[in-house]
Amino acid sequence: MSKIATLEIDGKKYEFPVIIGTENEVAIDIEKLRSETGYITMDPGYKNSGSCKSDITFLDGEEGILRYRGYSIEDLAGKANFLEVAYLLVFGELPTKDQLFQFEEDIRKHTLVNEEMKKIVEGFPRTAHPMGILASLTSALTAFNPKPVNVENEKEMYQAVCKTMGKFLVIATYTYRKSMGYPLNYYDNTKGYVENFMHLMFELPTGPYTPDPAVVDALNKLFILHGDHEQNCSTSTVRMVGSSHAGLFASISAGVSALWGPLHGGANQAVLEMLEEIQANGGDADKYMAKAKDRNDPFRLMGFGHRVYKNFDPRAKIIKKAADEVLATLGVDDPILQIAKKLEAAALVDDYFVSRKLYPNVDFYSGIIYRAMGIPTEMFTVLFAIGRLPGWIAQWKEMRINKEPIGRPRQIYTGYELRDFKPMDQR
Ligand code: CMC
């Protein structure tokens, strides 16, 4: 039987339908609220507001559950490869062997980036943050691919997915090559997608380069863990921008900018900088714990807390284990890992963190793995973006196929009432 929610305002009752999701998540459908009552709801930061129905990712913050298209993150991170998961996210089902082969082939057809893009890269100062460059280059791809995608046309949409996956990986690595003054590299169509990331980043014209297979494996896992996370800040941005029927590259460029912030994807860079600072100050984690708890200090323990996870972040659990494994495999003994573990152990028994349900999130340990792989700190959020790309594409595609209306929140105006215009000499 369908459920109804009743709202009473000034003695008058209004009824609203209740929506129930596959996993029994419940929402009050207030689509007709304003037209029937004249009221709107107020929910800064959208802590209680659903923006859409989605078939892509299920997340239970209380139980620490994350699933893509019904498959547990633990299974996917342990058994699948990144392109397999990208295919699953975007097209809804795990690919067959042939479908995956074809997907890789089709992505390879789009890995050459227009040479004119290099002139844009040249214009940036070497010190520019890679995320700023990446957002600009992604947006610039629109100029080289101006034809809008017809989302109703499966073939066109499939090609747009392959094109975005192919070109984004290459331009993501331009940002690092630029900062180092290295020539920009080309995708090697004889190698796999994740392996190519390492080649694009680190292969120099002066000699051969072979990435460590352990590093490629770990990257594969990290990209999968970042693949999608339902309606987070950057994904909501991608959907919001796309809801005006802006193109895929333009929407993803906006997502990159949203991800950059230190409260979102930029936290992975901030965590490592924080750990390095603690190390430089003698490794005294207590001082930083005290700062994080001080209401008058804006400092936050980076890599801790999550809007949705209030028990543990399942991605953090997998990454912590991976950090131990990768460092051991690479023979890296990083004191920063010990500081991170000390900080985590202290926070897990500290009343401030426990009472606010603040646990390590995906960004807490990922930077330690990236560092062990030789990835510079400023590139960490770019790696998050590469992992999140299939999620952004999947959500953009779903939003357009479901013909969602343009995103346009309302507000409560709190400024001046009507005032008379004052001529300049009377102000
Ligand atoms: N260190 C210290 N205090 C914190 C922290 C933290 N990392 N996170 C939250 N709090 C406190 C906050 O001050 C507030 O305290 P009070 O109730 O006394 O005012 C309480 O916990 C609730 O915090 P909130 O800011 O209302 O929670 P939110 O859901 O709006 O913010 C968050 C979530 C992730 C932005 C926040 O926890 C944070 O800033 N964490 C550090 C940045 C970080 O690691 N971000 C990565 C998130 S995971 C990757 C991703 O998907 O983006």
Q: Tens digits of per-residue pLDDT, 224-239?
A: 999 999 999 999 999 9
Q: Which residue, judged by its Cα, is nearest atom 52 of ligand 1?
A: 264
Give the per-residue pLDDT at 311: 87
The burial class, CB within 10 Å (0-12 / 13-18 / 19+), for 351 is exposed
Residue 362 in contact with ligand 1 by CB distance below 6 A = yes
Q: Is 266's pLDDT higher than 90? A: yes
129 is catalytic: no
Pocket test for ligand 1, best of 257, 289, 300, 315 (most atoms within 8 A of CB): 300
First CA to last CA across the chain, in angstroms? 64
pLDDT at 284: 84
The Cα-based distances of 64 to 70, 312, 347, 393 in angstroms read 15, 5, 18, 25
Going from the Cα of 68 to the center of ligand 1, the distance in angstroms, rounded, reads: 24
Residue 287 banded pLDDT, cuts 50, 70, 90:
confident
How do residues 118-170 score in pLDDT, each as one tens digit? 999 999 999 999 999 999 999 999 999 989 899 999 999 999 999 999 999 99
Spatial separation of the C-alpha atoms in residues 134 and 256, rounded to whole Å: 7
C-beta 388 within 6 A of ligand 1: no
Mean pLDDT for the stretch of residues 414-427: 97
Q: 275 phi and psi, to 5 degrees?
A: -65, -40
Distance from C-alpha of 161 to C-alpha of 88, rounded to nearest angstrom = 12
Average pLDDT over residues 348-376: 93
Closest C-alpha among 91, 239, 84 to residue 157: 91
Which residue among the candidates 333, 363, 420, 425 is catalytic per the annotation? 363
Our answer to whether residue 306 is catalytic in this structure is yes
Q: So what's the pLDDT on residue 1?
A: 67
Task: Report how far ligand 1's centroid is from the alpha carbon of 304 (Å).
Answer: 7
Of residues 110, 228, 306, 313, which has the active-site annotation? 306
CB distance 307 to ligand 1 below 6 Å: yes
- The CA 12 to ligand 1 mean position distance, Å, reads 39
Q: With bands split at pLDDT 50, 70 and 90, how would you rate the model's confidence at 221?
A: very high
pLDDT value, residue 274: 94
pLDDT at residue 394 in the model = 98
Q: 67 — alpha (psi -120 to 50), left (phi > 0) or beta?
A: beta
Q: What is the pLDDT of residues 248-260, one digit of tens each?
A: 999 999 999 999 9
Query: Do the Cβ atoms of 305 and 362 come closer than 8 Å?
Result: no
Integer Cα distance of 103 and 83 in angstroms:
8
pLDDT of residue 285: 85
The mean of the pLDDT values for the chain is: 95
For residue range 7-62, what is the model confidence (pLDDT) as tens digits? Answer: 999 999 999 999 999 999 999 999 999 999 999 999 999 999 999 999 999 999 99
User: In angstroms, what is the span from residue 76 Cα to ligand 1's centroid?
Assistant: 27
